[in-house]
A and B are shown apart, each in its own frame.
Chain A
């Protein structure tokens, strides 16, 4: 006898979890495959790697100091895993910390 499912997946995320349990289909899609799934709420344009500075000599790497780039990345959600996401979850983050070098101790986002 087939066992009845105790819960039913109602939305895409739940169905994705269910499909994981049953044997995963393709769950990752390259951004260059085109919309969807261009992620609204994250980077809005196309310049990935702008700051992966390929200079052979100093300064190699990102902005100097990285704190000077913090708000620019946070507001528009360029790096949502690394900085507060200003478009969805932390819209008013800048009120806590309008000047990163001066105010970073006031950070409270989780």
Chain B
């Protein structure tokens, strides 16, 4: 066999392998609802399982091995859901010791046994309310105990784990970078947003779906922009967009990285190469908080807020299916195998 033939066979093998990998890619979506997580099959876009969960649900994250989903409930519970059994297998409560604690933001630690959360805590002393300063805390996922903590600014809302959880970026009025690799957590820098008049609501995080890039939209008095955090490098990128701002709760990047999709009352396409808005289509069902995209980029899902999930064809931007969910919802996350 000559070198040319060997090369052709090698290329063919690579292509077959790629096609097989594509064909095998399987999307499962998780609808983060109220007292319930619903599972949607990405091939059929049908609801295939209901997972009863106590409480109103907020931040969530899949474990690195894709076997579990951690979800915050009522701001003080963390449920661990076994995705093979589709059931809650453990719950921890961070309240205790006379303190009510409210968690905002959730990022699993590198060890998989702990997690980082921002906490606002309140108690009473001699009949008076006592409100503690907000903290970034690392908590034990077995018992919910706080292992260590550091004070963070008021308004700290969302966490982004950077460089394999060696740093945590705390997104609030500004982005505060905290080194968590040593024995004590240390603030190592701040990316200013408040002074630039940015207004941001970064509650929807699609870092995994975006290939390791956290992305959120922000507003100034003049425009909407996208702020991104590359979780592999820690780099923060600001992309102001041309034109009058659209209104969006959340954004996600298309798999080819050329576009972003934003959602609120409409589904908006953003051209990331020209930094401008593309088509804007209304969502017949109404306002949605959450957005996601199939791993092949062919379908866009808008969901949450109200109790619907609308599936759009990415190319035509026509709605192709509406799922009536059991409850209202907060988020719609994708897991791809």
Contact = CB atoms under 8 A, between A and B. Distances in A.
Interface residues on B, range: 35 or more
A99 B74 CA distance: 17
A74 B104 CA distance: 16
B328 A68 contact: yes
A10 B34 contact: no
Given A46-B173, A72-B305, A63 B265 contact: yes
B122 A64 contact: no
A45 B172 contact: yes
B58 interface: yes
B34 A65 contact: no
Contacts of B129: 12
A69 B172 contact: no
Given A53-B247, A86-B74, A71 B128 contact: no
**Max chain A CB contacts within 10 Å: which of B172, B288, B307, B325?**
B307
Interface in A84-103: 86-87, 91-95, 98-102
B112 interface: no
B167 interface: no
The DSSP consensus for interface residues of chain B is loop
Interface in B184-199: 194, 199
B131 interface: yes
A45 B327 CA distance: 26
B172 A65 contact: no
Contacts of B330: 71-72
Given A47-B201, A72-B330, A102 B128 contact: no
B176 interface: no
Interface string B311-334: 000000000000001111010000
B307 A101 contact: yes
A5 interface: no
A40 B327 contact: no
A92 B77 CA distance: 13
Given A59-B265, A75-B56, A99-B327, A41 B122 contact: yes
A98 B289 contact: no
B155 interface: yes
Contact of B36 (A46, A67, A91, A98): A98
Contacts of B36: 98
Nearest to A35: B154
A98 B327 contact: yes
A63 B286 contact: yes
Contact of B34 (A36, A94, A101): A94
Contact of B120 (A40, A70, A92): A40
Contact of B56 (A34, A47, A53, A86): A86
A40 B33 CA distance: 24
Contacts of A34: 154
A72 B131 contact: no
A87 B75 contact: yes
A76 B306 CA distance: 16
A75 B122 contact: no
Contacts of B325: 99
Given A40-B131, A44-B120, A71-B328, A94 B35 contact: yes
B90 to A, nearest CB: 20
19 contacts: A11-B126, A34-B154, A36-B131, A38-B154, A40-B102, A40-B121, A47-B200, A55-B247, A65-B286, A68-B305, A68-B328, A69-B287, A69-B305, A72-B328, A76-B75, A94-B56, A98-B33, A100-B306, A101-B306
* Pairs A-B, 3 closest by C-beta atoms: A68-B306, A63-B287, A98-B327
Interface of A: 10-12, 34-36, 38, 40-41, 44-47, 49-50, 53, 55, 59, 63-65, 67-72, 74-76, 86-87, 91-95, 98-102
